[in-house]
A and B are shown apart, each in its own frame.
Chain A
Amino acid sequence: MEKRTDKNSYTILFAIGMVLVVGSLLAFAASGLKERIDENKRIEKQQNILYAMGVNENEGKSMSFVSKDIIADEFSKYITSQLVVDTDGNSIENDQAYLIDIKKEQSAAKEGKQRKLPLFIGEKDGKTVYIAPIRGKGLWDAIWAYIAMDEDMVVQGAFFDHKGETAGLGSNINQRFFMDDFIGEHLMSNGSFKGIRVAKGNADPKNNDKTDNEVDAIAGATITGDGVSAMIKSELRLYVPFFKNLKN
């Protein structure tokens, strides 16, 4: 005798029921938690921006961000203004600039729209830094960074992160041994923009030469490293007109 669960009608009904249950369960969970998740992401962004400019709770070789409880105060204390820059170097102030979605801006720019480039001006110990958020592609998924520069486009601090790079290899771009290498590196070379290349075997693993536009790559993470180089090159280049205007 055929089992009840082998019937086609039962199979179809079961499938429909399962889709409804699972679908509503997921939709319910996603929309119910959305507010909290968005808030967490906003706080993380502020922590990352401050981290890039050197406002963090690092001790020795450990890595930690400004704590969640004081982040709002610290952010308004250190970030003196937020700008939206265009690719001609003009800028307007906008105190919500850190909420600009870089991914959306990138796809809008592909359709020919003017890019809105967020830039944060921070001040720490009497020194002014300019922090630019950038976004690119790694091996599996998105990678992004916050790069703090001075007015000569010399890197003062960097924070990298990724969505899904290989654990233990590409995922190490968010570790200090990689990020700290960028500090002091020049983005310009002889007056023109060159970027910073993540280079394999560049014979400078201690990174003593800060003007070679290169940092040491992570072994086994070639494509993630190339993604970092490409992201810096294509995204930070857009800020060059702003820095040129700044000097004049």
Chain B
Amino acid sequence: MGLLSKKDAALIKDPLLDNNPITIQVLGICSALAITAELEASIVMAISVLFVLGVGNVVISLMRNIIPSKIRIIVQLIVVATLVIIVDLVLKAFAYELSKTLSVFVGLIITNCIIMGRFEAFALANGPWKSFLDGIGNSFGYGLILIIVGFFRELLGSGTLLGIPVLGDPIEKTGLYAMGYENNGFMLLAPMALIVVGIIIWVQRSRNTALVEDH
């Protein structure tokens, strides 16, 4: 017996690969395109979603028996918006520097469909502990893809990782640039994020053909 039962462990493990929110459930694509031009932004977003989805899933799960089904989507939206705004206010008061880094993401977190998707598909039907694990698992799966995409976009688009130049200086023409290498500015634009996500989906499905849907 490990720390978690087999079923509970699957809640964390499945969303990493075979039930990944981005590549399989196709949720949260908009934020995956918008903020992955830099690795740092991807990491910050992944951590923010981890927090909001973990806590939000528990809150919704605790309320699941009293939420009127007719207005459940609105209730979910209010819960996530309230959570995000309160966190933002607290950070502004006590960790101002951090809040400045995060403020860009606040709107993106509220509208992230992974959050609404997991509330609707999981937390409304399961207990708080399971919902918490599901939230954590899905945010890891989401964060994993975000970090992979962010890594390639920043490396190929700007020649840096976490803001540190790794391929030399493009203006002074040192390192790789001395040999005629150029940054691919196209990588910084949103369409390339879609293509990178597409490549991940391709690799994933060709390795595990059970994921391919028949039509």
Query: Of A11, A26, A29, A36, which contacts B70 at CB under 8 A?
Result: A11
Report how far A25 CA is from B89 CA in the complex, Å.
12
The answer to whether A6 and B93 touch across the interface, beta carbons within 8 angstroms, is no
A34 (CB) vs chain B CBs: closest residue: B93
Residues of B in contact (CB 8 Å), total: 36
> Max chain A CB contacts within 10 Å: which of B38, B93, B185?
B93
Q: Which of A9-59 contact B (CB under 8 A)?
A: 10-11, 14-15, 18, 22, 25-26, 29-30, 33, 36-37, 40, 44
Give the contact stretch, choosing among A85-93, A116-124, A166-174, A187-195. Answer: A166-174
The verdict on B199 contacting chain A, using a C-beta distance below 8 Å, is no
The verdict on A113 contacting chain B, using a C-beta distance below 8 Å, is no
Q: Which of B28-57 contact A (CB under 8 A)?
A: 34-38, 41, 45
Query: Of B75, B82, B92, B185, which contacts A33 at CB under 8 A?
Result: B92
With A169-B188, A206-B171, A220-B188 already in contact, the answer to whether A5 and B92 are too (CB < 8 A) is: no
The answer to whether A220 and B78 touch across the interface, beta carbons within 8 angstroms, is no
Instruction: Please name all residues of chain B whose beta carbon is closer than 8 Å to the beta carbon of A22 when the two chains form the complex.
Output: 78, 82
Report how far A219 CA is from B170 CA in the complex, Å.
13
The verdict on B69 contacting chain A, using a C-beta distance below 8 Å, is yes
Query: Of A3, A29, A164, which contacts B86 at CB under 8 A?
Result: A29
Q: Which of B168-209 contact A (CB under 8 A)?
A: 171, 185, 188-189
Nearest CB of A to B78, in Å: 6
With A14-B68, A205-B171, A220-B189 already in contact, the answer to whether A33 and B89 are too (CB < 8 A) is: yes
Instruction: Please name all residues of chain A whose beta carbon is closer than 8 Å to the beta carbon of B189 when the two chains form the complex.
Output: 220
The answer to whether B37 and A220 touch across the interface, beta carbons within 8 angstroms, is yes
Nearest CB of B to A16, in Å: 11
B185 (CB) vs chain A CBs: closest residue: A219
Instruction: Please name all residues of chain B whose beta carbon is closer than 8 Å to the beta carbon of A103 when the two chains form the complex.
Output: none
Q: Which of A153-199 contact B (CB under 8 A)?
A: 163-169, 171
Nearest CB of B to A7, in Å: 8
Instruction: Please name all residues of chain B whose beta carbon is closer than 8 Å to the beta carbon of A5 when the two chains form the complex.
Output: 65-69
Nearest CB of B to A144, in Å: 13
B44 (CB) vs chain A CBs: closest residue: A167
B172 (CB) vs chain A CBs: closest residue: A206
Query: Of B65, B82, B171, B188, which contacts A219 at CB under 8 A?
Result: B188
Nearest CB of B to A167, in Å: 4
Report how far A40 CA is from B92 CA in the complex, Å.
8
Instruction: Please name all residues of chain A whose beta carbon is closer than 8 Å to the beta carbon of B1 when the two chains form the complex.
Output: none
A11 (CB) vs chain B CBs: closest residue: B68
The answer to whether A167 and B96 touch across the interface, beta carbons within 8 angstroms, is no
The answer to whether B68 and A10 touch across the interface, beta carbons within 8 angstroms, is yes
The verdict on B122 contacting chain A, using a C-beta distance below 8 Å, is no
0/1 per residue, B59-103, Cβ < 8 Å to A? 000000111111100110010001001100110111010000001
The answer to whether B71 and A15 touch across the interface, beta carbons within 8 angstroms, is yes
The answer to whether A168 and B35 touch across the interface, beta carbons within 8 angstroms, is yes
Please report B residues at the A interface, Cβ cutoff 8 Å: 34-38, 41, 45, 65-71, 74-75, 78, 82, 85-86, 89-90, 92-94, 96, 103-105, 107, 154, 157, 171, 185, 188-189
What are 27 A-to-B residue pairs whose CB atoms are below 8 Å?
A: A3-B69, A5-B65, A5-B66, A6-B68, A6-B69, A11-B70, A14-B67, A15-B71, A26-B82, A29-B85, A33-B89, A33-B90, A33-B92, A37-B89, A163-B103, A166-B34, A166-B37, A166-B104, A167-B35, A167-B45, A167-B105, A168-B35, A168-B36, A168-B38, A168-B41, A168-B188, A219-B157
Other CB < 8 Å A-B pairs besides A22-B78, A168-B37, A168-B41, 13 of them? A6-B68, A29-B86, A29-B89, A40-B92, A44-B96, A163-B103, A165-B104, A166-B104, A167-B41, A168-B35, A168-B36, A205-B171, A220-B189
In the complex, the 10 A-B pairs of residues with the closest C-beta atoms, listed nearest first = A168-B37, A168-B38, A167-B41, A36-B93, A11-B68, A220-B188, A33-B93, A40-B96, A167-B35, A219-B185
